[in-house]
Copies of this chain bind each other. A is one copy, B any other.
């Protein structure tokens, strides 16, 4: 019985198209000869499209994307300080718009130190954890405003919105993830200062914990969590946290594990009511765009997350194995983006 997966591909800006090419190459290679095939539609979205048409993401774009089974995204965002982009916020208008519209309430960001990868930490130890970042609430809701804007009397507010509904579903996902891993869950928040949001997160975690007696629960303030990220990252298994704390912690996680060039992520709607989206954590790096200098590994590892999400666990494991293999043999001699992709494809059949 063959299966066709409709995949929306958003290469985006800067190095996005280059790394996505390699990711697609690996996706095709790992599923070649299996009963799964991908029907790809490419969407030209991002800074470039905005400059050409004035549109960031139209309702039609959104509808078309939503009709797919999954999304693979490279990176979006033009050159920082480009005056032609001053009026647009590609991040909010495209990336966050997709996450919110498609109800990607789980932002899944695994961190591993792969054998052979140098960490900036002197003694990182064995690092293998997953951050489950909430994706549709918190300070990301866009619920802010300002008065007397541009004057010496300006007041600018940002509202972090947190609901029991929204917190519970992501907390539940995190508990299940912990159960399937090493049974340890760390809630990260700032309950001593953000007392209302903090109490809600704490209460929900306490409540859901009752259903997961096999999972050990731990709590850290976000400031203290950053300390453990550099002094003892091996202590973590699964972390669950809000949208903003998760954003900060996962960049730090990328850094300690040998660079954001290896960090993959999934924006997941676990209910399957809309397509989930997989993307490297890194940005569009316009300064090296088109030079074949970008490392496509994070995009390729995002393909592994995509395959896992589609229930293709074997194919996902093959990709991770090939990447691990390739990383272990890296010599430090720079390779072109496509060479890395080719090497990983070659490693698939080892």
A residues at B contact (CB < 8 Å): 89, 91-92, 96, 118-123, 139-140, 142, 144-146, 148-165, 168, 190, 192-197, 199-200, 203, 222-224, 226-227, 229-231, 244, 247-248, 250-252, 254-256, 260
Which residues on B sit within 8 Å (CB–CB) of A254? 227
Q: Beyond A165-B152, A224-B251, is A92–B193 a contact (Cβ under 8 Å)? A: yes
Q: Which residue in B139, B226, B229 is a CB contact (below 8 Å) of A160?
A: B139
Cα-based distance from A229 to B121 in the complex (angstroms): 12
Cα-based distance from A150 to B227 in the complex (angstroms): 32
Q: Beyond A139-B160, A157-B161, is A227–B252 a contact (Cβ under 8 Å)? A: yes
Cα-based distance from A89 to B89 in the complex (angstroms): 39
The reply to whether A252 and B231 form a contact with Cβ atoms under 8 Å apart is no
Cα-based distance from A204 to B62 in the complex (angstroms): 36
With A92-B193, A156-B163 already in contact, 5 other A-B pairs whose C-beta atoms are closer than 8 Å: A120-B122, A146-B199, A156-B162, A230-B252, A252-B252
- Closest B residue to A192 using CB positions: B91
Q: Smallest distance from the beta carbon of A263 to chain B beta carbons, Å?
A: 10
Cα-based distance from A150 to B202 in the complex (angstroms): 11
Cα-based distance from A255 to B220 in the complex (angstroms): 15
> How many chain copies does the complex carry?
2
The reply to whether B155 and A168 form a contact with Cβ atoms under 8 Å apart is no
Cα-based distance from A226 to B226 in the complex (angstroms): 9
The reply to whether A152 and B139 form a contact with Cβ atoms under 8 Å apart is no
Which residues on B sit within 8 Å (CB–CB) of A247? 190, 193, 222-223
The reply to whether B255 and A226 form a contact with Cβ atoms under 8 Å apart is yes
Q: Smallest distance from the beta carbon of A235 to chain B beta carbons, Å?
A: 14
- Closest B residue to A162 using CB positions: B156
Q: Beyond A121-B120, A157-B159, A165-B153, is A227–B199 a contact (Cβ under 8 Å)? A: no
Which residues on B sit within 8 Å (CB–CB) of A92? 192-193, 195
Cα-based distance from A75 to B98 in the complex (angstroms): 44
Q: Smallest distance from the beta carbon of A223 to chain B beta carbons, Å?
A: 4
Which residues on B sit within 8 Å (CB–CB) of A140? 193
Q: Which residue in B89, B122, B149, B248 is a CB contact (below 8 Å) of A222?
A: B248
- Closest B residue to A140 using CB positions: B193
Cα-based distance from A310 to B14 in the complex (angstroms): 51
Q: Smallest distance from the beta carbon of A50 to chain B beta carbons, Å?
A: 15
Q: Which residue in B91, B153, B197, B248 is a CB contact (below 8 Å) of A156?
A: B197
- Closest B residue to A281 using CB positions: B223
Q: Which residue in B145, B148, B151 is a CB contact (below 8 Å) of A196?
A: B145
Which residues on B sit within 8 Å (CB–CB) of A230? 120-121, 230, 252, 255-256
Q: Which residue in B122, B154, B194, B248 is a CB contact (below 8 Å) of A119?
A: B122
Which residues on B sit within 8 Å (CB–CB) of A163? 153-156
Q: Smallest distance from the beta carbon of A65 to chain B beta carbons, Å?
A: 21
Which residues on B sit within 8 Å (CB–CB) of A203? 150
Cα-based distance from A231 to B261 in the complex (angstroms): 13
